[in-house]
Amino acid sequence: MVNIFRYEFKSYIKSILIWSLSIFAMIYSMMVFYPTFSSDVALIDKLISNYPEALLKAFGMSSGLSMASVLGYFSFTFAFTQLLLAVQAANYGFSVLSVEEREFTADYLMSKPVSRHEILSAKCVAAFLALSLTNFLTWAAAISGIELFRNGNPYELRYIVLLLSTIVIFQMLFFTVGMLVSVMLKRIRNVLSFSLAFAFGTYILNTVRAIVGGDLLGWLSPYYYFDPVYILENGSLKTPLLFMSFVIVLVSIGTTVFLYGRRNIHSL
């Protein structure tokens, strides 16, 4: 089991670096423009007020949070950070149990003196550690980016900490649901297409919800569960949706364990 964990985690190292550097680059490339936004508060607020509230929320903005403020601008930045985190987590979820079948090495893995549950545990722990490292580096990028480019403007650090603390459960939603789907399907030939469809599809659902209103579509999108605009505007989480997140993660894990133990492993 330890050998499986080591092998799996080693396979994630390059991916961790790529995703973490992408997140750093994205946050910094957006935050670098904040001093310009904050230099003329009245003009920015007047410009933003001309747009419908629904459209603003669809792009991580709100009339209640000035784009000239640190929190208002970072809510916009973090909305796109979530997209990168979602694609990575979904990609890991769809691939963690399907890679051997896709590469026709399942026979070799199953011939080892370890149970399927041990294989599943080792793979999931390795993936979780990889996502946790990306999470840690996202915190570093966010805090350092804000401090470097806030232009002396004040902000509530606890609000930023609260928002960043949602990353782990946000990642787990995409990872565990992706993993569950992978064991329900016969074979996943193109993991990236599934990952992009899941991450962008749920993002579009939340965007449509913000425009047309109502909560029904939101319940189908993890982005709604951890809406940066709501969190930074109110300094709190949506408790029912947080509870639902834990339920989805636990049910996805439990169902995956059950199905994987009985799965017909496809091989050569």
**One-character DSSP codes across 17-56:** HHHHHHHHHHHHHHHTTHHHHHT-HHHHHHHHHTS-HHHH
Could you tell me which of 130, 212, 208, 110 has the C-alpha nearest to residue 171? Answer: 130
Q: Which domain holds residue 203?
A: 2-261
Q: Is residue 267 part of a domain?
A: no
pTM for the whole structure: 0.91
Residue 156 lies in a domain: yes
**97 in any annotated domain:** yes
CA-to-CA distance for 197 and 126, rounded, in angstroms? Answer: 24
pLDDT digits (tens, 9 = 90+) for 183-192: 998 778 889 9
The tokens for 122 are 């080792």
Domain count along the chain: 1
Could you list the beta-strand ranges (E) of 10-164: none
Q: Is residue 266 part of a domain?
A: no
Residue pLDDT, tens place only, 8-53: 899 999 999 999 999 999 999 999 999 887 777 667 667 776 666 6
Label residue 214 by pLDDT band (50, 70, 90).
confident
Domain annotation covers residue 268:
no
The owner of tokens 């722990």 is: 125
In a domain, 24, yes or no: yes
* Alpha carbons 57 and 207: distance in angstroms, whole number: 8
Return the amino acid letter for 110: M
Three-class SS state of 205:
helix
